[in-house]
Structure formats: C-alpha cells, structure tokens
A and B are shown apart, each in its own frame.
Chain A
Amino acid sequence: MPVIAIQGINEGAGATSVSAGLGYALFQLGVSVLLIDLSPTNMLRLHFNTPYKHHDGWARSVVDDESWEKAALRYTDGLDYLPFGSINEKELALLHNHLHDTPKFWEKNLAHIQTTRRYNWIVINTPASDKILAGQGLKSAANIFIILNPQTSCHVRLQQQKLPDNCRLLLNKFYPLSELQRDLHKLWHETKQNFMQPLIHYDEAIAESFAMKQPVGEYRPSSLANEEFITLANWCMVNIRDTQK
C-alpha cells in the first residue's frame, strides 16, 4: 500500500488540487484510494462535493476525543476521503499539543489502515506551512511530492528551504507561453535530479471543477488536466513500489 504525501512548496501551489486530481485518477485506473487531508484549511473535502457546513473531520474528532476513523467519507466505491474538519485556532493549538505528545500519531494510524487491507493507495494532502502537521504527514509517507509553480519565488524557495529527503518535485500550473516559465522548467529539468517528468499544465478545467465541487476527472474528463493526472497516476503505478511491506 504505497503512501504519497503531497506538499506545496508554498501555500497556494495547488497541493490540494493535485491530491484530489491524483486520487481520482488512481481511482479511474481501478485501484481503491484513500485521501487524507492534513491541512487545517480543510479544502480537500470541497473537491468531493461535501457541503461547506459539514464540520466533521479527523482533527475535529481528535479535539472532541472521538474516534477519527468515523470522520471518513465515501465519495464512490473505491474512493474514500478523510477531511480535516473545521476547528478554531484554540482547538488547533490543542491539536498541536496532542500531536506533539504523540509524534507517531499518523504513522500508527496508517499502520492501522494498512491492516484493514482496504486501500491500494493512500494520498495525503500535507500543509505547506504547518510544521507539526506537515511533519507527521511527511514522516508517515514513503513518497513525497513537492508541488512547484513555475515562478521565480519557487526557484528561490528551492534554494532556501530544506526539503524533505527523497522528495520528488512536481510542476503544477505550467503555462508554456511564458518564456520565463519555459526557462524555469528547462532549468529545473536539467539541474534537479528529482524533478518529475510528468507535470500539470495550467488548465481552467481545474479551477472550474473545484468551483463545481467535483474532481476534474469527473467534471471535465476530456480535459488536458485529467489526462495529465492519469499520466501521473500511471507514472506512480510504474515507479512507486510498495515500500512499506
């Protein structure tokens, strides 16, 4: 059961959209997928037609001292997702404390999910700035995709930020009309060994699907974005071995 953690190099890089897109693409390829949202912004659920007022989620459950498993939702047969849940700042601090005390919280949770043998793949949407939550997500995943945008700021961050070991770099929102973007793409491709061959172009279909609260593969199945997510999913199937066996 391969686990992929997806983290933006900065907020807004599109990690949540990529998580939803990749999760749905894996589902389209016929494997069962669990998506886990570790981001306090709690947006992943909105890609799967969850009512905005639905407050449940694993964080909510932890704060309320309930079982987190119950918060998981089923989008369709073979595609489940676990929302973060809406919590206020105070509760977030509580959650941080809790996670600080149980540093292996998610590692254990995933091991537990593993024993159920219900899922073939797990995709974890990991926040870019929340160190504690991100730390847990990244630690429990064998594969980490860092989402980049073809911008100078991302290039600077690539030099400044310490990236997780063994992470891979995935380009999102690429629009090749811009010469700068093309140059950055070429530069990264040639200088970064962990730069991934598949990439996601800028596509209005992604933004629109999110607005329609559906995964892009469902709302716009013939879009380039969907094709690229499926390419990415295929790439994962070929390149990511089950390392946690």
Chain B
Amino acid sequence: MSVLLRTFIPTDKSIILELYYQFYRSKGASRIAAFATCACIPWFWIFCTLESPSFLKIREQQNRFYPNVDLDKPKVGDFLRYIFQSIWLFFIIQNKSDSKLGHNMSRKIQSYYSWIRKTHNHFIQSPKGKLITKTMLRMNDRTHNIMVLILLVIAALLLVLIITQPFTPMAQFIFMLLLWCIAMSIRLLPGRGTIISLVVLSWIVSCRYLWWRYHYTLIFPDNVSMVFGILLIIAETYIWLVLMLGFFQSLWPLHRKPAALPDDVSTWPTVDIMIPTYNEDISVLAPGVYAAMGIDWPQEKLNIYILDDGRRPFIREFAREAGVHYITRDTNEHAKAGNINHALKLTQGELVAIFDCDHIATHAFLQLTIGWFLKDKKLAIVQTPHHFYSPDPFERNLGSFISTPNESALFYGVVQDGNDTWDASYFCGSAGVLRRTALESIGGFATESVTEDAHTSLKLQRRGFTSAYIRVPMAAGLATESLSSHIGQRIRWARGMTQIFRLDNPLLGKGLKLPQRLCYFNAMLHFLSGVPRLIFLTIPAAFLVLHANIIYAPAIMVILYAFPHISHAVLANNLIQGKYRHFLWNEIYETVMAWYIAVPTTVALIAPHKGTFNVTAKGGLIYESYADWVTAYPYIILLLMNLCGFATAFWRIAYGPSNEVGAVIITTCWVVYNIAILGGALGVDIEARQIRVSPRVAFSMPASLIRDDGYAFPCTITDYSDRGLGIQTNTESNLNIKDSFSLILKYNTEEYLFPCEVMRKVGNDIGVRLKELTVEQRVQFIRCTFARADTWAMWQSQYKEDKPMQSFREVMIMNFKSYLKIVSYTPKFLRFVLMGFTYIIMFVVSFAPQNIATEKQ
C-alpha cells in the first residue's frame, strides 16, 4: 500500500492516507473498501474545494443527508450510493418540499371532507330534513313497517339489477370508480348510518363480483383447470359468505352496561364458583383460587369449588388449606363438560360462575355480572371478555405484544358484542356465569362435542333462554405457551365447532330466531377457513406451474371486478373493526392455523363423533429460542410451491404467449403476497425465549415499603406477578440484594403488608420475591394486584386505530424480517447459501436512496 502510494503522491499526504486506511480498517471496513476510499480521497483534494461553506454545510449534515453511507466504515460502492442519494435528494426531496404539492393535496382533501360534513349537517338541520325526521318519528308502527317493506322491495329489485347487469370493461370501471368515490366521501361522517352505507356498498360490489365469477368465468378448457377452478370458486364463495355474515354479525355492537344489583343484599342469588382443572400445576391454579376467594359477594352466598379431574391429593390438600371446596370423580368421561356436570349434581347455588384455572377474576366480577340475571328471568348466560396478560405465541414470536391487537381482541371487542345485539352471544368456557335451572333444563353441559361451551349456549338458546355479553374485562389468564399448544387449542375449537355444525346445526332445528341462526352459523363457519385458505395459498402457483386456466376472463376484467371487491371489504371492515383488528395481521394467524385445522375440520365434517378433548398447556417455560420445524413444515412446502410459481412466472413472461402476460403478472403479485404472508407464518415458528415462571403484568401504582429497621419509604410498583414484583425505589431506601423488607399495598382504603426479599437490583429498580405468605395474605395480595377492578381497565385502549396502508407496510416488513430470522435456524449448508443470497439482496438494497429525517428545529 505505502509503496504504491509514495510513487504517486508526496510523502506527507501519503502518510495521511495511510492513517485513513488504518482508521477504516480498525472500524471494520474491508480491505477493498478501505483502499477504494483512500484512492478516492486524493481526487477530492484535487477537484473539490472541501473547505468552501457549501461543502462544510453538507459535511455537517452528512448523517442526515446520506444515512446509507457510514463515513467511518466505508463499503464497496459508497461512491455510487453518494451519487444515487444525491440524485434522489436533488430531484425528489427538493421538489417535495419546494412545490408543497403533497401539502396542498392533503389540505384539499381535508376541506373536501369538512365540506361533506357541513352539507350533511346542513341537510339535517334544514326545514326539509327536520320535516323528514318529524314524519318518521310520528309514523305509527304499521305505516312504518309497510313503508320499510315497500322500500325493501324496490331496493331488492334495484340490487338484483345492479348485481346482475353485465358491463363492458369501461362501464364497469366507471361504476366501480363511482362507488369508490361515494365510499371515500362518506367514510368520515359520524354515526352508524355511515357504517351501514359502507357495508351496503361492499355488499353490492362483492355480490357483483361473485355473480360475475359464477356467470362468466367458469369455463374450463381442460380437467386440471376445472379441478383448480372449482376449488377456487368454492374458496371464494366461502370468503364471500363469511364476509357477508361477518358484516351482519358485527354491524351494531350492543355495548351492554352492567345492571345494578338491588340494595337489599338478602335478595342476591347464591353463586357457586367452579374452577375445573385437570393437570395444571398448582402454581397456575393458586392465583385463580385466591382471586375467587377475594371476590366481593356475601360470604354465605358464595361457594368456591375446585373441580379436580386429575384426582391429585396435593390439590385436595391445597383446597383444604385455602378453605375452598374440592370435588373430584372416579372417571374422566366428557372431560371438562363431564367434570362440571358431575359438580352440578353435588352443588346448589342458583348461579354458576366458571373460571379456567389460570383465570384471575377481579373482585368486582360478580357484582358487575349478576345484575342482569335479576333483571331478565330468561337470562341463562352472562359472558365477559378473556384478557391475556401473557403474550400468545404469535405476539411473543413476532414481538407485537400490546401494540397490535391479537386474535381474541376482535372476538371479544367486536364479534361477541355484535352477537349480543342479536341475542346470540355465547359462553366461552371461562369468565362467564350461567343459571343453574337453565342448565338443568338441558341436562347440564353438552357433551356431544369437544367445545362444550358453544354447544351448551346453543342448546340453551334453542330453549328460549337469552344470553348477555358485558364487554368489561374482569378476568385475565395466561395465553398458550407455545405455538404447538396454541395450535392444539385451535384444533380443538375448530373440531368442536365443526362437530356442532354437523350434529346440531344452528340453521336447522327448533327454537332459534333467524339472526341467532346466522350468528352461530358464522361462528362455526369461521373455523372451516382452513381448506379455503390452503386453496388460496396454492392456486396461483398451480396457475403458473401447471398452466391451469382457472378464471376464464381477461386480466383487466379480473382486476376491475376483484380489486373493488377487496378494497370495499377492507374499507368497511376497517370501519367496523377499527382498532380491534389490524389489516393483514389476521392473515398470519389464519395462515398458520390453516393447515392444522383443515384436516380435523374435514374429518369432523365427515365423522363428527371422532376426536377427544385435549387440555391446553399453559404456564410453561421456553429456555432457548428455537425453530419449531415440525410445526413449520407444511408452510415450507407451501412456500416452495409458491417459489416455484414465482420462478415459472419469469419464464412465462419471457417465453409464454403474449396474451397471457397480464394474467401472469396478476398471479405473480398474488404469489408474492403469499410468499410474504408465509414469511410471517414461518416467523411465528421461531419460539422466542420465555424464561419467567410467572408472566409479569406491567402496572404502575404507588406503594410504600418499610425496611426491617423501621424506616419507611414511598415507592412505585412497576410490574407484578403472583410471586414477585418490580419496584422503583428512591436512592435513600438503599435496599440491596438479599435484603428483606415489608411492602405496603393499598386496596381502596385498606392496606396490607407483605414480607419481601430483594432478588435483583438495577439502579433504583429492584426485583423482589414475596416471602412465604399465609393463605389470607395470598388472597390479599391477589386483591391488591391482579384482582383490582381497574387492572384490566386499560384493556384494548392501547391499540391504535388501524390504518390499513400502514399495517400493510408493517406486516410486510415483519414478513421480510421473519425470513432473515428463519435463515439462521436452517441447517448449515442451506444457511450458507441463504445467507449469501441475503447478503446479495441487502447489498443491492443498500444502493437504494433513503428518505432523510426532517431537520431538527
């Protein structure tokens, strides 16, 4: 190096260059990169006035303007990066900030929306609008009904016309554009009317799509095409049906408020709290039992039963110590349902509250749920949401806990609440209360399926009993620990629901109202999603590889029909589900489940009596991150199929007939989408570590502590579990590891003291373990922490309103990251190849210009 240098440039300069070279090398730059950079420096000296003010200005903000180049650690090709980024800065960023085009656009859109809102208000307040409102209110029921009927008939005729009218591509384009403009214009107006209008628009567009598909596109030139074509139309019909029923189900959530209890305590009913358990560890069971003991209800009207199907002596001993009842039986037939039925014979309470053994109820649970039983004598079920204070495998493995709503958020946030409007909310196995007389009238819990909860609800509703859903989280539990157990749980649900579908179909039989039938039907239909999703994951690859002609239509028509169908559905669902489901996140959930529930549901559909109850494992540990290849293999196969399709696509574009190019491009987009979603699904298969025995709940509350020498200090609880806490102390309190102290927790006006020991210390934050507590203290601790009425009050409030485009980007980035992650778990040889690929891709991507951060004020 130095010899080479000295031949060309003066010695003093070459020493500087040598220093540069050594500096770059010490920062980890490769030999080539360091050399190339050093070789460039003299050219700069020669041609650029580096000390000029404009150059200095750029150099000052080098990191802002050129985030893709690290001056200290040059890479090969930095020169090109500079050039690309400069061009980008000059032409794109410059224009953006100068013309303020984007700003103007957004302002115009804003003013358009406010104009619409004004017009809307104006009409309502105008004499004409008032007259209409008045006439509607004054109308008696009969005229009202007749008018609605007439309008419905007219609307139905119009709808038939709109849905079946064949259009030329241009007409279809204009029609869809108009509908989209209407949808975009009204979407920000307040009120239910907007949602209903958007749902109707989506309904029209989707029906039109399906009509077109059935009417024009089911012509198959060969058998392969026919097989795949029929599969696709079945899957599409399924999606359409679920979409329509979903709209119906969640159109109008009820938001039922808890009913007040009478002042006279003697009229309150007696309640049995039942906690069925089979093989769960006592550490999982205990907090739930203590929480149940702390529930506010007259003691003489409350009985707590542990229903142990495992016949374990230590559980009996635990129950005796805690002072709760213990029931066991000699057989295990009908699992949980049988267990509860057995207990029902031995107990007498008017109402039965059932909690899964890991569910911790807040102390106000009964006071907030029982009121409706006294108000409505036909009420058989009150259900409340399940809240999970530990991340489920999806949230843990994808790192999305708390920020993104999980799968159950939609169900407990919107669907159950929507069901309640139609008197079709159903019992979910835990955190619900049932009326004993109602249960006895149907012979106890249903035992025909493995999801006894839904079936029992269905049977009760057939008898004319009503159900209620109170959307206030009052019980929290543990999410499933690993992906395989999560899948196991979902398989059980899917199998059970399919069994009910076959054995006691809600569409048939006596006693149900039509909306109830539809709601239950949709609940079951939801679990049949496995097969259709697998079809969607394989069809595009089949089209590309097998040359199957699946949709008999030109590419442009497919776009004109399918794209509005999808967009309107996304828009309407976004408005209904808002923050309870983020766009595309559910795709990952459903993709992972698809393979595993496809087989059991199909089997259950054919032979509904097969299948047993499997217990969901909870509260386990995962010591090392690992990739669950066994669970992942179906997705790897699907991925390979899609990759094959992707590869064929290039070949077909290059060599295939030119009239197919449009279709190939559409299908390729579809394949890419599949590949991306499968990436997310594979990401879930990497089990992230979970090393805490008891998951901690983040919750900030003031407390105080008393050191053993009598000094007391204020402190703040930052998180807790059932056996320890995280505490923020002040420096003065000077607690060290192994120190003992007493913690004072407040609950309303009561105060309790708990002996603790410091286990960890980082600055002023200490991690403490609760020492041996008496049963009474355990109950008090749960009351002060998990069972506080406000503990889960922030439930779902942390979710942001969904922005579909943003979610789309987030999910796509996450999918890509999943691929990077999964590479490091592959076998050595494959990893080598894949890593090489990854580096090449990252190298190419690193040339792309990057957006610059906005200037600091």
Contact = CB atoms under 8 A, between A and B. Distances in A.
Contacts of A197: 749
Given A176-B751, A177-B742, A202-B710, 16 more contacts: A175-B706, A176-B752, A182-B751, A185-B749, A186-B749, A186-B750, A197-B749, A201-B744, A203-B706, A204-B709, A204-B710, A204-B712, A205-B711, A223-B712, A224-B706, A224-B714
Interface of A: 174-177, 182, 185-186, 189, 197, 201-205, 220, 222-225, 227
Contacts of A182: 750-752
B733 A176 contact: no
A175 B742 CA distance: 11
Interface in B746-784: 749-753
A222 B733 CA distance: 8
B732 A222 contact: yes
Contact of A201 (B712, B730, B733, B752): B712
Given A176-B744, A176-B752, A185-B751, A203 B710 contact: yes
The 5 closest A-B pairs by CB, nearest first: A204-B710, A224-B712, A222-B732, A203-B712, A227-B714
23 contacts: A174-B751, A176-B752, A177-B753, A182-B750, A182-B752, A185-B749, A185-B750, A185-B751, A186-B750, A201-B704, A202-B706, A202-B712, A203-B710, A204-B711, A220-B732, A222-B714, A223-B711, A223-B732, A224-B704, A224-B706, A225-B712, A227-B704, A227-B714
Given A176-B753, A177-B742, A223 B713 contact: yes
A205 B712 contact: yes
B730 A222 contact: yes
A236 to B, nearest CB: 19
A137 to B, nearest CB: 30
A227 B712 CA distance: 10
B731 interface: yes
B743 to A, nearest CB: 10
Contacts of A225: 712
Contacts of B752: 176, 182
A222 B731 contact: yes
Residue among B710, B733, B752 with the most chain A CB within 10 A?
B710
B742 to A, nearest CB: 6
Contacts of B712: 201-205, 223-225
A177 B750 CA distance: 12
Contacts of B732: 220, 222-223
A203 B751 CA distance: 16
Contacts of A205: 711-712
Contacts of A176: 744, 751-753
Contacts of A185: 749-751
A202 B707 CA distance: 11
Contacts of B731: 222
Contacts of A203: 706, 710-712
A171 to B, nearest CB: 11
Secondary structure of the A side of the interface? mixed
A225 B714 CA distance: 9
Residue among B705, B713, B731, B742 with the most chain A CB within 10 A?
B713
B710 A224 contact: no
A202 B712 CA distance: 8
A202 B705 CA distance: 11
Nearest to A189: B749
A111 B26 CA distance: 80
Contacts of B704: 201, 224, 227
Contacts of B711: 203-205, 220, 223
Nearest to A201: B712
A182 to B, nearest CB: 7
A173 B814 CA distance: 56
A47 to B, nearest CB: 18
A205 B709 CA distance: 10
A203 B733 CA distance: 12
A185 B751 CA distance: 9
Contacts of B749: 185-186, 189, 197
Interface in B426-461: none
A46 to B, nearest CB: 21
A80 B25 CA distance: 70
A12 to B, nearest CB: 18
A222 B751 contact: no
A201 B710 CA distance: 11
A224 B742 CA distance: 13
A225 B732 CA distance: 13
B285 to A, nearest CB: 27
Contacts of A223: 711-713, 732
B547 to A, nearest CB: 78
A180 to B, nearest CB: 13
Contacts of A227: 704, 714
B178 to A, nearest CB: 61
A202 B706 CA distance: 9
A175 B712 CA distance: 10
A210 B480 CA distance: 56
B483 to A, nearest CB: 45
A205 B714 CA distance: 12
A173 to B, nearest CB: 11
Contacts of A202: 706, 710, 712
A222 B742 CA distance: 17
Contacts of B733: 222
A220 B753 CA distance: 22
Contacts of B753: 176-177
A174 B731 CA distance: 24
Nearest to B710: A204
A242 to B, nearest CB: 29
Nearest to B715: A224
Contacts of A186: 749-750
B756 to A, nearest CB: 13
A197 B704 CA distance: 16
A235 to B, nearest CB: 14
B741 to A, nearest CB: 12
Residue among A175, A202, A224 with the most chain B CB within 10 A?
A224
A227 B729 CA distance: 13
B706 A201 contact: yes
Interface in B696-725: 704-706, 709-714
Contacts of B744: 176, 201
A48 to B, nearest CB: 22
Contacts of A189: 749
A182 B754 CA distance: 13
A172 to B, nearest CB: 13
Nearest to A227: B714
A205 B503 CA distance: 72
A141 to B, nearest CB: 27
A201 B749 CA distance: 14
B170 to A, nearest CB: 72
Contact of A224 (B709, B713, B750): B713
A168 B616 CA distance: 56
B713 A222 contact: yes
Residue among B714, B732, B752 with the most chain A CB within 10 A?
B714
A197 B730 CA distance: 24
Contacts of B751: 174, 176, 182, 185
Nearest to B731: A222
A185 B746 CA distance: 13
Nearest to B730: A222
Contacts of A177: 742, 753
Nearest to B707: A204
Interface in B674-714: 704-706, 709-714
Nearest to A179: B776
Contacts of B710: 202-204
A116 B332 CA distance: 85
A201 B751 CA distance: 11
A174 B730 CA distance: 22
A204 B733 CA distance: 12
A189 B705 CA distance: 22
B482 to A, nearest CB: 41
A158 to B, nearest CB: 18
Contacts of B706: 175, 201-203, 224
